[in-house]
Homo-oligomer: A and B are copies of this chain.
Amino acid sequence: MKCKRCRGKAVVQVRQHNAAFCRGCFVFFFQRQVQRAIERERMFTLDDAVLVAVSGGKDSLALWDVLIELGYRTAGVHLALGIGGYSRRSTEKTEAFACRRGVRLISVRLDEEDAAIPTLSAFTNRPACAACGTSKRHHLDRVAFEQGFSVLATGHNLDDEAARLLGNVLHWQVQHLAKQQPVLASTHERFARKVKPLFRLSEYEAAVYAFVRGIDYIIEECPNSVGATQLVYKDVLNRLEAVMPGTKLAFVNDFLRTGRAAFATDGAGLPQTCAGCGMPTFASLCSYCSLLREVESKRARFVVPAAGTAQ
């Protein structure tokens, strides 16, 4: 098997693009794919201050690595979610990456703020993943606004987008379908533009890129993700991909090109301002402030002021 670009010995096969590459040319291919996505979808330019949400996993670190290599103005933001050893190891990998590259990393320690995911989940009876999603969205938006970033980039890859699309389609969530796109324009002064530069690159490609570039990322999955619906969708899409290579890419591409227009409406209108934290919301209180209020009220009810046991 020969490298499509330099005709040397290929070591990476990219079935969905019907191509194979040597190590160096794969890095070139991957970076060029990211650059094209940024330019074609008008995600941002070299002048924009881009905040990259980094979890410590392969996708977000690969994304940050590419953006640094391409010369974009970036800083990373990492949320220490307080999910035991998994979160500790994620934070270590992220900090080591930033340190080695000499780039700015903003760390938010939710565990020290007493807003760790297990706490939020336990006090509100919500599934950990629901509490985590709400918390992540809030803090990423907040940091981008407070630190003056106009763009928030996440490492969502093709597999993530295809799985999300399949979930939205299986339940015909038309409002979610209307909003599923690689660039979400800012609809409030406190919302940065949200972009997904890896949306056409698969999980496999991101993993190969991280490996070839020597990025030390956290391989283990979040312990809360076991049995997650998203993983079932990914499994099913992988089965389709195995029989019909290119299915995932066509599914997402054709949606953006043809399908999405059918759902694009003015939607829920513009967001207002949360009475709690000042961030955008469609209710009087944003989801995160509602979550925190619930935690506070449960705490007040269950924790006895003097030394004693919870009822």
Contact = CB atoms under 8 A, between A and B. Distances in A.
Interface of A: 169-172, 174, 229, 232, 235-236, 239-240, 243-244, 247, 250-251, 254-255, 257-259, 262-263
Contacts of A251: 169-172
A170 B240 contact: yes
A38 to B, nearest CB: 24
A239 B174 CA distance: 24
Contacts of A236: 236, 239-240
**Most B-side CB within 10 Å, residue of A170, A229, A254:** A170
Contacts of A240: 170, 232, 236
B171 A169 contact: no
B174 A247 contact: no
Given A169-B169, A170-B247, 18 more contacts: A169-B251, A169-B259, A170-B240, A171-B254, A172-B251, A172-B254, A172-B255, A172-B259, A174-B262, A229-B244, A232-B240, A232-B243, A232-B244, A235-B239, A236-B236, A236-B239, A262-B262, A262-B263
A251 to B, nearest CB: 5
Contacts of A244: 229, 232
A212 B116 CA distance: 56
Contacts of A172: 251, 254-255, 257-259
Contacts of A254: 171-172
